[in-house]
Chain A
Amino acid sequence: MKTDKRMVKKLLARFLCRDNIFTIVTFLVSTVVAVCLVNMAVSIWRNTAFQRDLTKKASVYNVRTLGAVLAKATEALLAAEELSLLRRSVGQARIEHQLECCRVILPDGGIVADAEPSRITVIKLPQSWAGNSQTYTERVTGNNVTCSFPLDVPGRGGAFLQITANIDDQPWVGLQSQAAQMAIACLGLATMWLIHRHARFRLKGIGAIHQALLTAKDPEVDVSTLEVDPQLGQEAVIWNKLLGEKQRSQIRAAMEQIKESIQKKSDDNNELAAACDALPQGLLLVGEDMRVHYANGAAAALLQTNCGKLTGADVSEFITDQRVIEAINRASDYPSYARTIVEVEPDGPTTSSDPSRTPSLLRFIVRPVRREDLGIAMVIIEDITQKRVAETARNSFLGQAAHELRTPLTNIQLYVENALEDCKKDPHATARCLNVINEESRRLERVVSQILSVSEIEVGSFQLKRDDVRLDVLLQTLKADYERAASDKQITLKFNLPPKLPVLQADRDKISLALHNLLGNALKYTPKKGQVTVNATVHKDQVCVEFIDTGIGIGPDDAEKIFDKFYRAKDERVANITGSGLGLTIAREVIRLHGGDISVQSELNKGSTFTLTLPIKEEAA
């Protein structure tokens, strides 16, 4: 049902299209004009016929009236036998009333009076005559009406007056007014036609605009299709101008929208590029043609170039490692989710000019980017040099730590077995074994303590437990602890202590640990028959402890580095002595936490002086 209505509407709309509507209007106007004209013609014809009929009837009526009057007069004149007067009256009546015939006839047919005197047959009226008066008759023949009026002449007899008058219709009588009306109507119609003809042209333009307005109901209509023929008039020109304005404004709006869209996309791209540039990892996108489609700032920096040179260039110009190139090729040709990781030590331009500097190590992670049929490889470049150094140092430290732990443990195990074997036979040997076990246990404790200290330093939880610390007691204990080791190594160990040393507010264990590390190192790196001197002095608000040895000394390159974690001088003699490379680091960290410092002065092959200073009134951080 709805479909039918829609079809009807569509057909109606098509029928009432701009071109048809004027044909219809013209047709309707023409039809109305034709109907009016026909109506007027019929009306005129009908009026004319009516008029003619009415004229005829009026003529007959006039003749009848005239006859009646004349009959009365004739009767009187006949009665008085005034024939001449009668004949004159008849003649006058004919002339005055334009009668065809007017005569008085006796029943025998004798004509007493006639408008035409030659037709009179009775010159003298007889005394009487046969025959009675007849009845009134009226006969119409053609355009004439003949009326016979009966006459009664007292004492003589009857007669009749016969009048014949012309009642010829006058077809144009009364037609003038109709014709005038018709003419006015025709004139009006002609005027209307002229107006219509004039207005039609202008109406065409308005109709076209109307049609365009109806079409414009559809919001998706193209404005350019709404234009009308400019020859249809000024309205059409103005309409087209308005449409042009609208079209231009629509174009401007569309342009603005496009601009905004482009700007937004550009902003998005810029944001994305800025985000990628903020990445510490290098990022490359390499196409099937092995050309770099995108490179972030970190990638350019890690490949020792700039983004401008990198983008669009062949990737093999900047990455020479064949494993990486092959991985990129594979990722471009056979897209999959698998990734390839290659660690490369760059050569060429990435090598540092400083030989002491650790060579860089880059990790290339290559994986394909799945994007329809495009074979794009994503290469992530990561600088893992420091990680690798740290890893190596950690492994080295673990190895050293394990060694440091294993050595006293082995000694303890060995001397425990000896003590068990000799305990009943030789009590002195057992005592010696127990002494060694005791020393090794303390050494083990120190190593473990150092490892824990380093761990605490690393995580930042290295804290002090302050208390009154008598430095002279600490130094005396230190002397007692190392006298045996010094004598075993035939090293002269001297302690030059003032009579009185101040009491410090410090962490006893940590200070003790630092002193042990410094003296232990002095003894460790001083060859046999050498000398180690410990001097303690007080200067105003600080106490100074010097550890002077006549050992192997430290080269100027190593002088500052020896305080670094895990660092061990590259001297072969140092390599042969076990050590974790943590002692000095921990010692300086501990002393710095107390507000003091440790410095070193050394000369290779002559000896070193480590100077420890501590504030008497604690000002530590």
Chain B
Amino acid sequence: MTIQTQQYGAVTVIKPDGPLIGPDADKFKARLLEIAAETLGRVVLDISAVTYLDSRALESLVDVTQQLSASGCVLKICAANETVRQVMMLTGVSSQFEHFEDANSAIRSFL
């Protein structure tokens, strides 16, 4: 799994590529938290290239959003495919994130 980051103004869009599973989830979580701390929470997670994710990845995402929520922020997720969306819905963690259709909408939410 590769992690691409891209700046959109003051917002950093993080785009993991490939399935988010196993030990990759921990690395991804650490990177996500690091960027969130550097950008004061101005982070968007573009998971359009994540084909699927496992429970460890879900747990990592929930941990990140919980840490962000302590400072009044929420993890913004965009462009989730149908599989990922259903996994989140079925596991009941979907409501812990802010969902957007695309990165632009997510970036606009910081205005």
Contact = CB atoms under 8 A, between A and B. Distances in A.
A389 B72 contact: no
A458 B104 CA distance: 9
Contacts of A388: 10
A297 B38 contact: no
Given A277-B69, A280-B73, A386-B10, 15 more contacts: A278-B72, A281-B72, A297-B70, A301-B37, A301-B73, A357-B7, A358-B9, A358-B10, A360-B39, A385-B9, A386-B107, A387-B111, A388-B10, A390-B111, A393-B9
Contacts of A393: 9
B10 A353 contact: no
B42 A383 contact: yes
A564 B70 CA distance: 31
Name the residue in A282, A297, A304 with the highest tally of chain B Cβ atoms < 10 Å from its Cβ: A297
A298 B72 contact: yes
Interface string A343-372: 000000010111011101100000000000
A531 B37 CA distance: 48
Interface string B22-65: 00000000000000011111100000000000000000000000
A352 B41 CA distance: 12
A356 B110 CA distance: 19
A277 B10 contact: no
A389 B71 CA distance: 22
Contact of A302 (B9, B40, B105, B111): B40
B6 interface: yes
A51 to B, nearest CB: 115
A300 B39 contact: no
A354 B38 CA distance: 9
Which of under 10, 10 to 19, 20 to 34, or 35 or more describes the interface residues of B? 20 to 34
A502 B107 CA distance: 37
A301 B9 CA distance: 20
A561 to B, nearest CB: 7
A356 B42 contact: no
A357 B41 contact: no
Interface residues of A, number: 37
Nearest to A589: B104
Interface string B1-30: 000001111111000000000000000000
A300 B71 contact: yes
A385 B40 contact: yes
Nearest to A351: B38
A352 B39 contact: yes
A261 B55 CA distance: 43
B8 A564 contact: yes
Interface string A376-395: 00000001011111100100
B7 to A, nearest CB: 6
Interface string A297-322: 11011101000000000000000000
15 contacts: A279-B72, A280-B72, A296-B72, A297-B71, A298-B73, A301-B37, A302-B40, A383-B40, A386-B9, A386-B107, A389-B10, A390-B111, A457-B104, A458-B108, A565-B104
Contacts of B9: 358, 385-386, 389-390, 393
Contact of A386 (B11, B37, B105): B11
Nearest to A387: B111
Interface string A249-281: 000000000000000000000000000011111
Contacts of B38: 352-354, 357
Nearest to A303: B40
Among A353, A390, A560, A561, chain B packs the most CB atoms within 10 A around the CB of A390
Contacts of A298: 71-73
A385 B10 contact: yes
A281 B73 CA distance: 9
Contacts of B8: 564
Contacts of A350: 40
Best-buried of B37, B38, B73, B107 by chain A (most CB within 10 Å)? B38
B106 to A, nearest CB: 11
A301 B70 contact: yes
Nearest to A296: B72
Interface string A547-584: 00000000000001100110000000000000000000
Contact of A278 (B6, B69, B111): B69
B107 to A, nearest CB: 8
A24 to B, nearest CB: 77
Contact of B6 (A296, A300, A361, A560): A560
A385 B9 CA distance: 8
A362 to B, nearest CB: 8
A53 B69 CA distance: 121
Contact of B10 (A300, A360, A565): A360
Nearest to A299: B71
B62 to A, nearest CB: 17
A67 to B, nearest CB: 139
Q: Which 5 A-B pairs have the closest CB atoms?
A: A301-B71, A389-B9, A385-B10, A298-B72, A386-B110
Contacts of A282: 72
B98 to A, nearest CB: 12
Interface in B73-111: 73, 104-105, 107-108, 110-111
B25 to A, nearest CB: 23
Contacts of A358: 7, 9-10
Contacts of A281: 72
Contacts of B104: 457, 565
B7 A277 contact: no
Contacts of A277: 69-72
Contacts of B71: 277, 297-298, 300-302
A577 to B, nearest CB: 23
Contacts of A301: 37, 40-41, 70-73
Nearest to A565: B104
